[in-house]
Structure 1
Amino acid sequence: MQICNRLHFNIARLNLLFIFCLTSTFMGFSQEKAVPNKSDLIKHINDSIRNSRDTVKTVTKKVKPNQIDAKITYSAQDSIVLLGNGTGFLHGQSDIKYKNINLKADFVRVKMDSSIVFAHGKTDSVGKKIGEPVFAEGSTEYSSKELTYNLKTKKGFIRQAVTKQGEGYIVSDKTKKVDNDILCITDGKYTTCDNHEHPDFYMDLTRGKVKTGKYVVSGPAYLVVEDVPLPIAIPFGFFPFTDKYSSGIVMPTFRDEQTRGFGLMGGGYYFAISDYADLEVKGDIYTKGTWAFYANSKYIKRYKYSGSFNFSYREDVTGEKELPNYSKMPSMSIVWSHSQDAKANPYFNFSTSVNFSTSGYNRNNIDNYYRPEINSQSTKSSSISFTKRFPESPFNISGSMNAAQSTRDSMLDLSLPNISVSMSRIYPFKRKNAAGNERWYEKISMSYNGTFANSIRTKENKLLTSSFSKDWKNGMKHSIPISATFNVLKYINVSPSFNYNERWYLQSVNQSWDETNQRVKTDTVSGFNRVYDFNMGVSASTKVYGMYTPLPFFNKLTGNKIVAIRHVMTPTVGFSYAPDFGAATWGYYGSYIIPANAAVQHDQVVQYSHYMNSLYGAPGTGKSGNISFSLTNNLEMKVLKSEKDTTTTSKFKVISLIDNFSVSGSYNMAADSMQWSMLNVGLRIKAGKSQSLSLSGMFDPYMYAPNSTNTAGIRVNKLRWEHGKLPRFMGTGTSYSYTLNNETFKKKDKKKKEDSTKSNNTDANLTPTTDLKNQTKTDAEKDKKALAKDSEGYQKVTIPWSININYSVTYANSTWNPKKTEYNMALTHNLSFSGNISLTNNWKLSANTTYDFPNHQFTYTNVNIIRNLHCWTMTASVVPFGPYKSYNFKIGVNASMLQDLKYDKQSGYGNTPITWY
């Protein structure tokens, strides 16, 4: 029973002696209502005396310096006892509030004259401690076993205090609280484990000083894990923490590496520039001379843009000076990512994705030794791009910078800058104020695209010394496509087209044969060159529909469910023409003669392009008159829907038999040989609502003949059907993946259960609505109980798991068969598995592997194990076999404050044996 006392005194109506007695007893205490201030009370007393007829003139009382001078709000669940000597006792879930101080405990004793509060918990009937003091001052909170505190001086003594500081907890046996939120502790513990009674680990602090919200400074300290002291000690410790965004020192980590020596890694400084940007500067240094510098920054502007920038420069030194194994390798890396919010500017966009590094950066970086996925990267690409659109205009402009690196041979393909101006499709002859039917010429449309580019392909170390005029390729290209679509004979769509391309170059080449040196001599000629070409064509397409009704006999076998089968064919025929731009009249090609010699009996005429080294090349040689054709098929079946299917109200359902089956090819009338192209065939079949099977392949109409060494075949101008053979199948390939998890089999069980429920509801006669609701509720409760326990009454254990299976197959040419004068066909297929399983809430296991069937071996295989150890995490990664055979083991504290408190064991890959225990 909670006792609620409300005291209110009218001093003007009481006797003076009675006033002084009650003042000494109750001053400073009120519940939900404040007692008047001491000085105001004396003033009120003096005024009352003056107005009284008593002979006493003046009464004064000296105010004690430690006396309470503000309102105290208090409550207790069990009882409140106030004694005449100025002592108060609160029993049972007591709550005291004084200024910014709040105290909760099961027992509180207050000395009102000295403003001293004493609190502790109690022991319940089973011997468990309850109601232990929880003391809060401002935003700082302490929990303890026993507390003595002076409300006036804000000093106190605390036994078994627990306070959270940053990511960790301070647990101390004896704590003295002094001014300015400073705690002096002895026999303390600093841990990030939230189990205060028995933490998984802690730093045992013999003595220390805590500035709440700022730092912890300790004397000698040592590490204790699972109550076992370890021989790891520090002479002093400094643990800074703050809940504010601020700058600070980044502590380095120690490493011992065989080829580089002892080193400190990752030390530096973090700059909190603003709420929108930061900068982290770190470095590495080793005793044998290796050093590195890192600068990382992130930035963001809400509703505008965001990004990150990382720069690294390192100089790796291995071995000893003046020894054969000594090497010194500088390397650098730039990673920049920038993205713009789409709402910031709908007409302008700027984005970057830069991943540039020298070829030796990953190989020399020790942190990548144990990451095969990085070392296996053969190419890197970078791009910086912008796009500017002009409202109410068909024109837009874009620019980019692209770079591609090959880490194997350090080749670099750089294109800088790339500028493109394009015009969307317009209809130049369309009337602004159209009246009547659309004229044929109003359907003519055109667009424009102009690009300027400057590129180079060279080695990384030769980029800065390259010549702009000789090594760089540059030019500008204009493309103007013109097309239209007309309807002929109501069902045929005819589309004529004309394409014009023009290139601008600033140099060309001339070649001749140097008889003296027996080599080709190349001269570069500077000057403006205009190179153009064009082609024209026309195509026609239509759709042919066919409906088939199954024969009565066949339909009866299928249960009379097939209504009709529809076949849709889309034939397309086209013709295109382009002149021979290799002719001398165009001036794009030249020739030189290699005189006959001992090896060659006749003179050789070699044709070359004046723009062979130019960016956009030259128009192709040879006249082209292609007739192209394609046929696309779609086959669907309309059937009666099952009575159990209630997804739609229709009685019919359409099933796709062949989603797409296409055949295409071309015939070049202007060519003197090899006029037929490859026949391309594609097939796509829907295997379900979300699964489909796609196959594509080619058929070669020409025969093969052996080369001069009879080790390979070459195509010859002999059609296979002229020799009684069908076009040769060149191969195909596809892949299929499927995922299994906990929900896979639950869906099947749920479907069976729903079907059974529907069947029961159909047979049952449940007329009253209340009975149906009650039955549904009862069934739901039964299902819930059934899921909670198995048939034997034990609680079911749910283990989340997932397995992804991927099968890929390729059937294509393999080796040359001299007997058949054809290539042998070979089947290449592999099966990949990846999965994960959570044995418990703390154990997680994942693995992936691929089996190569032709080679009968597993390729890259990786197994990962993660164990959550409450406030620690253990990870292990193993590559059990192969060229990247290795292992990596790490156990460390989760809190970022103690990220250096870890054990890390790694192996090299490929040559380090793995011992299994």
Structure 2
Amino acid sequence: MRTKTVIFVLLFAFIFVMADTSLPLFKENDNGRAQNDSLSVGDTVSSDSVPADSTDKSGEPDTTNMDSLQLAIYHHNKQVDDSIRLDSINRKKSGALDAPVTFSSEDSMVYDAKSKVARLYGNSNVKYQNMDLSSDRIQMSLDSSLVRATGTADSTGAISGTPVFTMGQDKYESDTMAFNFKTKKGFIYNVYTEQEDGYLSSQHSKRDSSGVLYLEHGRYTTCDQPHPDFYIALSRAKVRPGKDVVFGPAYLVVADVPLPLAIPYGFFPFTKSYSSGFIMPSYGDESSRGFYLRDGGYYFAMSDKWDLKLLGEIYTKGSWGLSVASNYRKRYRYNGSFFFSYQNTKNGDKGMPDYTEQTSFKLQWSHRQDPKSNPFSSLSASVNFASTSYERNNLNSMYNPQSYTQSLRTSSVNWSTSFSSLGMTISGSANLSQNMIDSTVSLTLPDLNISVSRFYPFKRKHMAGKERWYEKISMSYTGQFSNSIDTKEDKLFKSNLIKDWRNAFQHNIPINANFTLFNYININPSFNFTDRMYSNKVMKSWDEQAQTERADTTYGFYNVYNWSMSIGASTKMYGFWVPSKKIFGDKIQAIRHVLTPQVTFSYAPDCGSRYYETYQKTDADGNVSLVEYSPFENGLFNVPSRGKTGSVTFDLSNNIEMKVKSDKDSTGYKKLSIIDELGFNMGYNMAAKEKPWSDLTVRLRLKWWKNYTFNLNAVFATYAYELDDNGRPYVSNHTEYSKGRFGRFQGLSQNISFTLNPEKLKKWFGGGDDEEDATEDDNNTEDDDTGIESNVDDDMVNGQNGARKKNAGKAETDADGYMKFSMPWSLTFGYGITMRENTSGKFNTKTMRYPYAFTQTLNFSGNIRISDGWNISFSSGYDFENHDLSMTTASLSRDLHCFNMSCSVVLAPYTSYNFSFRCNAATLTDALKYDKRSGYSNAVQWY
């Protein structure tokens, strides 16, 4: 029978006034339970125990008819009422509690009035203010406000119902606990509490009034198992919950084996908010620079919106480096990160021939604006700039093949704002392209664009009747101002803005329309005007004495323009063919062929001739020639080409589909693509005096496989080879078609990638589900490698390992308790082939053809999980030109529940290795770790 929760208001106050009048209502047997002369199990001390009809006219109960138990209850309750009234008068003098105490128990509750002790049995609970104590047995001393809680041992000696004490956000589990409500101090045996990512336990613990714990013979671990895989044995410790742990002599214990790894003192931070603190460095040995301490420094928690991290590194042979990293975020506005690193690298011994000293730096900035903050304006940045020598001098980059072999880097800062009422958008950007091989940089600062969206100048504001043909005419505007330079890395900051930088302003005004002729033919005329504004031009002449070309730059305002027009006509034609049911059955309903012809005529006058000049060149032998050039050929937007053009382009696209009965639905049909597109494109230049026909381009696209599209592009040359008087081949004016042959095949390119996994094999051989396979294919989709380094740097995320995982490293078992056999794996193949004419090869005079050259690339990568916690991944390829393996890497990782072990190896084109063993928890990831890397000289092949 569960005892209802009873609230004793100022329960402890009456004890001090009833010491001589308390009744011996309770006696205990040997087991500590109440005997028959006490209150029965589940009863409470209440005035309801007195019969309701036993009162006299004065309102006082008639005690003549009460038995001994009722009489005892009456006197007891009367004394309680008197003590409460007295306590309300002398509260401050008596030192009573500040709030009621609520307690309950499932088994029984026994109160000994003589010793002033209340005992609760069976899943008991006591609450006072923000304190909550639950245990199987609780003993309360009412005169001293002391509570003692223990568990209950069964016949086997196992203890259950151990005390669980909660005060605010702090929670403690122990075997035995004593606590004083007034002083809020306590003593705990075998305490167990969780602090952030770690767990604390000790044999003896004291708690003071502020909540600080003082531990003796304690343990700290990040393992969540009852029997931890490892722990740090603490002889003495002071715990400030939610803040930190400061401890005295401590040593490491792994698998219950003490290790000779001890420290005299230390601390663990537990703060849940940002706080400043030191960052422990890593140490090691590097053959050319000596012993080092790196990635050590200080972390500044500036505010909740941004932080700052200062790191440094130093080597015994004189090398050093500094880096600054910061993250910032303003909710619903923007977020980003900043990183800058400077290194002074000294290799070798000073005074020796191989001694070198080099400075390098790296700058990274990433900024993103929340689209909700301002829908009409945006700012974003993705900056990744480093000196050429930085990655080769940085240890983190040496063991990252992607960073170490990076050849191209790009950076950009973009800003835009729009005026919706005008339909105008203004955007600006700064772009930087860096070649890490030859240290050349291409910088554009700024690149300003002004665009006006399409509008219809002749459309009526108030429509009445049908739309007229001239109302379909639309136009728009695009303007671009650009200022750029191409130079070497060391000359960038020494360049002259006027002489070395190129700048120009370009305007582009397109005019378009769309008409329908005879309801079937779409007519699309267009007109385009382009104007360029340059601030200088380069005039050239020939210096006969020096026999060199001389260039003179003239500064001013120069306008260069051209225009062109075109008109296109297109339509669609449909053809249906119903196969004979006698031959093909009723499976095929129909085959549809869609033919899309398109003819485009374009014309451009000779606007470029006025922008070309000539000079007379006389060489050392006296030969005179006329050299043609354009003063604006080095301009940002080039110069219009010479000569007028008038061309006709023919394009024919084919699509073939088949409609068949569905296997799942007997009454339904589904479409199957036979040829998604088969297209041909060819043009004729009416203004060309020779070779007016262009090459024939053929494109093919097939969708026969789910989640994969086959694309093929091929080129067939129109004009045939002929031999000159010396027997050398040249492209003549005669077409291949005039010789009774099809266009000369010039080459094709094709890339194929495929991922193989157990789900695909199950589908092929075991009848898997298509939907599951489709989902798996989507999950295994890989991004194309553009060769551009990511802006996420290893230095910016150094030390951010994941916290421990629940059930990590545990194998899944079946119903019989045996480990389930599961070995997930995937293998991805990528093959690319390019076929082209090898004009440097030997010409075949019989077939009038050059031999074909093939360029092939083969890449493959995969991963396999041999068991839960074991992961192996690799990537490699084959270089068909050098007949050798391309970049080959392999990695092995093992999740050891509380620790993580990883090993990565680079096998080609250079060799290196990296071994890491560290704790999973973020609190100890920098303290309990072991890293071993190959030296810098080990990663270089000497010839």
TM-score bracket, normalised by the shorter chain, equals: 0.7 to 0.9
Do residues 307 (structure 1) and 330 (structure 2) align?
no
Cα distance in 2 for partners of 1:799, 1:478 equals 61
The answer to which of 187-196 and 610-619 deviates more is 187-196
Do residues 623 (structure 1) and 623 (structure 2) align?
no
User: Residues 126 and 732 from structure 1, CA distance in 2 versus in 1: closer, same or farther, beyond 3 angstroms?
Assistant: farther
User: Residues 885 and 716 from structure 1, CA distance in 2 versus in 1: closer, same or farther, beyond 3 angstroms?
Assistant: farther
Cα distance in 1 for partners of 2:468, 2:769 equals 64
Cα distance in 1 for partners of 2:547, 2:370 equals 61
**CA offset at residue 359 of structure 1?**
1.6
| Match of residue 224 from structure 2 | 194
- Contact 1:581/1:619 (8 A) holds in 2: yes
Do residues 719 (structure 1) and 742 (structure 2) align?
no
| Match of residue 271 from structure 1 | 300
The percent identity for this pair of structures is: 44
Q: 1:373 aligns to what SS in structure 2? A: helix
- Contact 1:6/1:33 (8 A) holds in 2: no
**CA offset at residue 789 of structure 1?**
7.0
| Match of residue 667 from structure 1 | 684
Do residues 897 (structure 1) and 923 (structure 2) align?
yes
Per-residue CA deviation, residues 584-619 of structure 1 (Å, 9 max, x unaligned), is xx2x11111222544xx7422110111122111111
| Match of residue 606 from structure 2 | 580
Q: 1:898 aligns to what SS in structure 2? A: coil
The residue type equivalent to 2:747 in the other structure is: G
The answer to which of 270-279 and 198-207 deviates more is 270-279
| Match of residue 860 from structure 1 | 887
| Match of residue 169 from structure 1 | 199
**CA offset at residue 354 of structure 1?**
1.4
Cα distance in 2 for partners of 1:512, 1:170 equals 86
2:163 to 119, 125, 133: 133
Do residues 538 (structure 1) and 558 (structure 2) align?
no
| Match of residue 739 from structure 1 | 755
Cα distance in 2 for partners of 1:635, 1:722 equals 31
Do residues 333 (structure 1) and 350 (structure 2) align?
no
Cα distance in 1 for partners of 2:706, 2:258 equals 61
2:536 to 507, 513, 533: 507
User: Residues 63 and 693 from structure 1, CA distance in 2 versus in 1: closer, same or farther, beyond 3 angstroms?
Assistant: same
The residue type equivalent to 1:645 in the other structure is: D
User: Residues 717 and 236 from structure 1, CA distance in 2 versus in 1: closer, same or farther, beyond 3 angstroms?
Assistant: same
| Match of residue 100 from structure 1 | 130
Do residues 589 (structure 1) and 615 (structure 2) align?
no
| Match of residue 783 from structure 2 | none
Which segments of 5 or more consecutive residues in structure 1 lack a partner in the other structure? 49-59, 755-786
- Contact 2:241/2:270 (8 A) holds in 1: no
1:478 to 507, 530, 533: 507
| Match of residue 745 from structure 2 | 729
Do residues 816 (structure 1) and 846 (structure 2) align?
no
- Contact 2:278/2:299 (8 A) holds in 1: yes
**CA offset at residue 413 of structure 1?**
0.3
Per-residue CA deviation, residues 520-556 of structure 1 (Å, 9 max, x unaligned), is 1111111111111122232222223323343x3xx53
Do residues 397 (structure 1) and 426 (structure 2) align?
yes
Cα distance in 1 for partners of 2:249, 2:486 equals 61
**CA offset at residue 167 of structure 1?**
2.1
The residue type equivalent to 1:281 in the other structure is: L
Do residues 874 (structure 1) and 890 (structure 2) align?
no
| Match of residue 373 from structure 1 | 402
Cα distance in 1 for partners of 2:228, 2:860 equals 40
The residue type equivalent to 1:739 in the other structure is: T
* Structure-1-length-normalised TM-score: 0.84
Cα distance in 1 for partners of 2:827, 2:23 equals 79
Do residues 805 (structure 1) and 833 (structure 2) align?
no
**CA offset at residue 857 of structure 1?**
4.5
Do residues 185 (structure 1) and 215 (structure 2) align?
yes
- Contact 1:122/1:131 (8 A) holds in 2: yes
The residue type equivalent to 2:694 in the other structure is: S
**CA offset at residue 102 of structure 1?**
2.4
Per-residue CA deviation, residues 457-489 of structure 1 (Å, 9 max, x unaligned), is 001111111112221000111111223233334
Do residues 644 (structure 1) and 667 (structure 2) align?
no
Q: 1:670 aligns to what SS in structure 2? A: coil
User: Residues 828 and 505 from structure 1, CA distance in 2 versus in 1: closer, same or farther, beyond 3 angstroms?
Assistant: closer
Query: How many equivalent residue pairs?
Result: 848
Do residues 296 (structure 1) and 325 (structure 2) align?
yes
| Match of residue 767 from structure 1 | none
- Contact 2:749/2:834 (8 A) holds in 1: yes
Per-residue CA deviation, residues 800-830 of structure 1 (Å, 9 max, x unaligned), is 3333333333333345123346432244444
The residue type equivalent to 2:842 in the other structure is: N
**CA offset at residue 402 of structure 1?**
0.8
Do residues 565 (structure 1) and 586 (structure 2) align?
no
Q: 2:914 aligns to what SS in structure 1? A: strand
2:495 to 448, 466, 479: 466
| Match of residue 448 from structure 2 | 419
**CA offset at residue 239 of structure 1?**
2.0
The answer to which of 408-417 and 216-225 deviates more is 216-225
Per-residue CA deviation, residues 686-744 of structure 1 (Å, 9 max, x unaligned), is 1145332111111112234799999x976454433334432111222222333344544
Cα distance in 1 for partners of 2:91, 2:446 equals 90
Q: 1:414 aligns to what SS in structure 2? A: strand
- Within 5 Å, give how 1:709-858 maps onto structure 2: 715-744=731-760, 796-814=820-838, 816-820=841-845, 822-852=849-879, 857-858=884-885
**CA offset at residue 870 of structure 1?**
1.4
- Contact 2:511/2:528 (8 A) holds in 1: yes
* Structure-2-length-normalised TM-score: 0.82
**CA offset at residue 328 of structure 1?**
2.4
| Match of residue 527 from structure 1 | 556
- Contact 2:547/2:620 (8 A) holds in 1: no
Cα distance in 2 for partners of 1:36, 1:515 equals 128
Cα distance in 2 for partners of 1:208, 1:410 equals 56
| Match of residue 677 from structure 1 | 694
User: Residues 801 and 126 from structure 1, CA distance in 2 versus in 1: closer, same or farther, beyond 3 angstroms?
Assistant: farther
- Contact 1:119/1:148 (8 A) holds in 2: yes
2:242 to 213, 236, 260: 213
Which segments of 5 or more consecutive residues in structure 2 lack a partner in the other structure? 12-16, 28-41, 48-75, 771-811
- Contact 1:397/1:419 (8 A) holds in 2: yes
- Contact 1:389/1:396 (8 A) holds in 2: yes
| Match of residue 693 from structure 1 | 710
| Match of residue 494 from structure 1 | 523
Q: 2:638 aligns to what SS in structure 1? A: coil
The RMSD of aligned alpha carbons is 3.8
User: Residues 329 and 7 from structure 1, CA distance in 2 versus in 1: closer, same or farther, beyond 3 angstroms?
Assistant: closer
Do residues 429 (structure 1) and 449 (structure 2) align?
no
Cα distance in 2 for partners of 1:306, 1:134 equals 43
1:44 to 85, 88, 102: 85
**CA offset at residue 266 of structure 1?**
2.4
**CA offset at residue 410 of structure 1?**
0.9
Cα distance in 2 for partners of 1:533, 1:32 equals 105
**CA offset at residue 259 of structure 1?**
2.5
Q: 2:894 aligns to what SS in structure 1? A: strand
**CA offset at residue 89 of structure 1?**
3.0
**CA offset at residue 353 of structure 1?**
1.4
1:632 to 653, 663, 671: 653
The residue type equivalent to 1:104 in the other structure is: S
Cα distance in 2 for partners of 1:231, 1:368 equals 34
The answer to which of 253-262 and 360-369 deviates more is 253-262
| Match of residue 576 from structure 2 | 547
- Within 5 Å, give how 1:251-270 maps onto structure 2: 251-270=280-299
